[in-house]
Amino acid sequence: MSDTVSGGAPGAGLVDLSGLRVFVGGPIQHALGPDGLDHTLGHDIFHRPLRDTIQAVVSAVTEAGATVFSAHVVEKFGLETPHFSPEDVSVRDLDWMRRCDVFVPVLPADADGGLLRTDGTHIELGWASALGRPIVMVAPLPVPAKASHLLRGLPSVADVSTVDLAELRRSGPGELLLRLGKVGRDTVVTP
């Protein structure tokens, strides 16, 4: 299976993201039910609002012409995750981070007013920061006080902007696409 989703019609929608490589991340393991499957219904039980948001982000960015790297797509929102070893995931995701122009982590709220646990996405945020990749975070605004100090302080040491998760769900991905378009004009990583 390909590790990317490539763009539809360049210029579709608000912004032409042709040539931009976008790594979309977010929770997988902690967005699944106890074993990731609803055996009575025969389908996955991935966190529905998160699935819908990530699918909307991936679709919009792809339709605007960008290439998207997404473990959610490759692993079919957790259904295929057991087929990947921890080493496979680490090597693949670091490769994607090195190849991308911008990292878009989707960080939803949890039931306690914090953010849904996502150890892997936090590691990817560290990689993005260390590699100098711009980060356009999709998260509740203001970022919950229960989020870690390092996440809330990340804009002081890295190129981070945040798109409000509730606004994206309400109004669509227009603001995200505009921010990605600006990143695309300002910085494109060469292989």
- Is residue 3's pLDDT more than 70? no
Distance CA(172)–CA(152), nearest Å, equals 24
Q: What is the pLDDT of residues 147-157, one digit of tens each?
A: 999 999 999 99
Distance CA(123)–CA(121), nearest Å, equals 5
Distance CA(18)–CA(10), nearest Å, equals 6
Percent of the chain with pLDDT over 70: 83
The residue extents of the domains of the chain are 21-186
Q: Residue 17 in 3-state DSSP? A: coil
Q: Where does residue 77 rank: exposed (0-12), middle (13-18), buried (19+ CB within 10 A)?
A: buried
Q: What is the pLDDT of residues 77-112, one digit of tens each?
A: 988 888 999 999 999 999 999 999 999 999 999 888
Query: What CATH number matches the domain at 21-186, 3.40.50.880, 3.40.50.450, 3.30.70.20, 3.75.10.10?
Result: 3.40.50.450
Residue 148's pLDDT is 93
Tokens, residue 82 = 């057991």
- Is residue 138's pLDDT more than 60? yes
Give the pLDDT band of residue 47 (cuts 50, 70, 90).
confident
Residue 9's pLDDT is 34
CB 21 within 8 A of CB 187: no
Residue 45's pLDDT is 80
Residue 14's pLDDT is 64
Distance CA(31)–CA(46), nearest Å, equals 6
- Is residue 161's pLDDT more than 90? yes
- Is residue 190's pLDDT more than 80? no
Residue 97's pLDDT is 98
- Is residue 141's pLDDT more than 70? yes
Residue 184's pLDDT is 73
